[in-house]
A = this chain, B = another copy of it.
Amino acid sequence: MFDVVRAAHGELLVTDLGRAREFYCDLLGFVVTEAAGSALYLRGYEDVVHHSLVLRRAAAAGCGHIAYRVAGPDDVEAAARWYAERGCRVRHLTAGEEPGQGVAVRVQDPLGFPVEFYASMAPAERLLQRFELHRGAVPLRLDHFNLHVPDAAVADRYYRESLGFRCSEYTDAGGQVWASWLHRKDNTHDVAVMNGPGPRLHHLGFMVGEPMGVIRACDVLAGAGREAAIERGPGRHGISNAFFLYLRDPDGNRIELFAGDYLTADPDMPPLRWSIDDPRRQTFWGHAAPSSWFEQAMLVESIDTGALITPTAPKLRDRPDFVT
């Protein structure tokens, strides 16, 4: 096995880097660490390393890969072996092949996602107390990945049993796992797996420092005439207690900005069960989410061909209207 520390960064595909930069940096406040050819390497104000968000120019929107930080170099190697033994495609990356990043391995995991594991990244100035530079929503760091998978029970088991994640909360559909929030670091989640056509990335979740950062994001976007980017929220999730906002970037890629979280350090902390019939689960205040939020998600790349992978239909299908 290998020791996953946390969800660390995500790579989104955008068709126009300038337009994406205006959205993520000028409006939302992400910081550019490096602009390298066809990609931008961004970080939040809390990050002390090179990047937690990569925007790469591509022919269509989507997700290039998601990445977990592992404990040390041995864990990178162990991950490579583990996936190879299970017949997964594995690609080794040399130090710097992804700018700022040490040696890494990228795999097509058993769920079909392009997942990277790395143990070191170049330092970057921490801007947490450079308050005079803070802008927009003041995003602090990447917090989690939210994935659509055809069988959430399988994905939940994979993350718990194979990768050592713990479940903080889950949605129960008549005894079956409909969705599960799983973590390695000490908060609600590093990854959530949800029943839906997959492999697809539903969103990257970025933490902001206080609820007003979420409100400010709405105001800033609308002030600039970009209110159409607001897909859902602001609102409170029952699950995770996050005060959330979902945005679609100019290419339609989805990110979440959220504040509010809780500590999950105790190893015997019991997972919180939500019935799929409880409407407060999804929006604590009772608001319905738009259908786009349920139906649309980002296609992910093949690590071999770079082609976007056609998703498989979900196993559980009889979704009530209000279901995640």
Within 8 A of B (CB), among A36-58: 46, 48-49
Interface residues of A in 245-294 (CB under 8 A from B): 259-260, 262-263, 265-270, 272, 280, 284-287
Please tell me if A1 contacts chain B, counting CB pairs below 8 Å.
no
The residues of B that contact A212 with a CB separation of less than 8 Å are 210-212
Residues on B with beta carbons closer than 8 Å to the beta carbon of A46: 262-263
Interface presence of A128 (CB below 8 A): yes
* Chain multiplicity (copies): 4
Contact B263 A185 (CB under 8 A): yes
**Residue A5 at the chain B interface, CB threshold 8 Å:** yes
Q: Determine if A34 is an interface residue (Cβ-Cβ < 8 Å).
A: no
8 contacts between A and B (CB under 8 A): A48-B270, A120-B268, A134-B220, A210-B210, A212-B212, A215-B236, A218-B236, A222-B285
- A216: min CB distance to chain B, Å: 7
Q: Is the CB of A238 within 8 A of B129?
A: yes
Q: Shortest CB–CB separation between residue A211 and chain B, in angstroms?
A: 6
Cα–Cα, bound, A241→B140 (Å): 13
CA distance A249 to B128 in the complex (A): 25
Closest B residue, CB atoms, query A223: B131
Q: Report the separation of the CA atoms of residues A270 and B265 in the bound assembly, to the nearest whole angstrom.
A: 22
Min CB distance A306 to B, Å, is 29
Query: Of A86-94, A103-111, A196-204, A224-232, which binds chain B?
Result: A224-232
Q: Does A72 contact B (CB under 8 A)?
A: yes
Contact check: which of B48, B141, B228, B280 meets A227 at CB < 8 Å?
A: B280
The one of B227, B265, B272 that contacts A185, using a Cβ cutoff of 8 Å: B265
